[in-house]
């Protein structure tokens, strides 16, 4: 598995398995099959409600802990240094682990400064090998970097062929932050899986549209976490390291960028208010 090196020297697989929107009752089996397929990066969150199932699959796998890279995330309601630590400890307990590899602030809302102070302590104590953020636009990311001790290792943001985030990635490179994609397939929006450009490129390599998208992300040095509950699709998604897109193919995909989200804008006041009212048990 190809890896990226985070700003603190930690190695992170460039391709992993995400469990967003997988129901808890299906998650253990899905993660078990993903691990069997070769995935070693697992991405969950307190807000997903399936950390316990991820933990059970990890334990049942028998894989050495050092072979795995486990990410989870802190939800908005747990602002404050004490609340953040308690939320982290609950996540560790649900995962049945003694540490995680990456802990992220899930949303750029609320008192994320107090959350970051607590996360810096968790990092210093070795409870999280790296810490980072999710859904932070460049202005908030730079603000966080310039007024705190630890620069986020990762910013996990919506990134796919219709919303490519190239300027954001360049800023992150300058600041030492790794771009990680969520929604790499745009959840099939804009008819992604039948897109003629992606389909033509896939046909040229004997590959699926999904494999083309993941290969495009890998070649951009973007960490991806595709999700599936089908073992054959998991195997297909991880099989992207034995071909390469040409410069022309990369340029054709670059031309697909609309510059706008396929889902929602994290700077939309109505969405900020809506997310801020969501509570996680």
Provide the pLDDT confidence category of residue 68 given band limits of 50, 70 and 90. Answer: very high
**Which residue of the set 20, 39, 48, 103 is catalytic?**
48
Q: Is 113 among the residues known to form the active site?
A: no
Extract the tokens encoding 143.
Answer: 């603000």
SS (H, E, C) 12-63: EECECEECCCCCHHHHHHHHHHHHHHCCCEEECCHHHCCHHHHHHHHHHHCC
DSSP code at position 18: E
Residues 6+ apart with CB under 8 A from 141: 133, 152, 155, 171, 172, 175, 177
How sure is the predictor about 180, in pLDDT bands with cuts at 50, 70 and 90? very high
How many Å apart are CA 48 and CA 142, to the nearest integer?
Answer: 27
In terms of CATH, what superfamily is 11-271? NADP-dependent oxidoreductase domain (3.20.20.100)
Q: How far is CA 262 from the centre of its chain?
A: 17
Give tens-digit pLDDT for 90-107: 999 999 999 999 999 999
- The DSSP line for 146-197 is HTSSS--SEEEEE-BTTB--HHHHHHHHHHT-EEEEESTTGGGGGGGGG-HH
**For 210-254, how does the pLDDT look when each residue is reduced to its tens digit (9 = 90+)?**
999 999 999 999 999 999 999 999 999 999 999 999 999 999 999
What is the rounded distance in angstroms from the CA atom of residue 11 to the CA atom of residue 8? 9
């Amino acid at each position: 598995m190809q890896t990226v090196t985070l700003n603190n020297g930690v190695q992170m697989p460039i391709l992993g398995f995400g469990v967003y929107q997988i129901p808890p009752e299906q998650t253990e089996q899905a993660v078990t099959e993903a691990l069997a397929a070769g995935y070693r990066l697992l991405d969950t969150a307190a807000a997903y409600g399936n950390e316990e199932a991820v933990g059970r699959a990890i334990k049942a796998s028998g894989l050495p802990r050092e072979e795995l890279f486990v990410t989870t995330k802190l939800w908005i309601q747990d602002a404050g240094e004490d609340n953040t630590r308690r939320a982290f400890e609950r996540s560790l307990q649900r995962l049945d682990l003694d540490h995680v590899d990456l802990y992220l602030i899930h949303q750029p809302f609320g008192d994320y400064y107090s959350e970051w102070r607590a996360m810096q302590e968790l990092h210093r104590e070795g409870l999280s090998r790296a810490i980072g953020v999710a859904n932070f636009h460049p202005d908030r990311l730079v603000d966080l970097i310039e007024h705190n001790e630890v620069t986020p290792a990762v910013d996990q943001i919506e990134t796919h062929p219709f919303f490519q985030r190239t300027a954001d990635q360049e800023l992150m490179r300058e600041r030492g932050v790794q771009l990680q994609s969520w929604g790499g397939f745009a959840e099939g929006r804009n008819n992604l899986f039948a897109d003629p450009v992606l389909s033509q490129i896939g046909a040229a390599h004997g590959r699926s549209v999904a494999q083309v998208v993941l290969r495009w992300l890998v070649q951009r040095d973007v960490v991806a976490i595709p999700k599936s509950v089908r073992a054959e699709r998991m195997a297909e998604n991880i099989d992207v390291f034995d071909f390469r897109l040409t410069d022309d193919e990369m340029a054709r995909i670059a031309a697909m960028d609309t510059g706008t989200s396929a889902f929602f804008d994290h700077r939309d006041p109505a969405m900020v208010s809506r997310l801020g009212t969501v509570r996680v048990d």
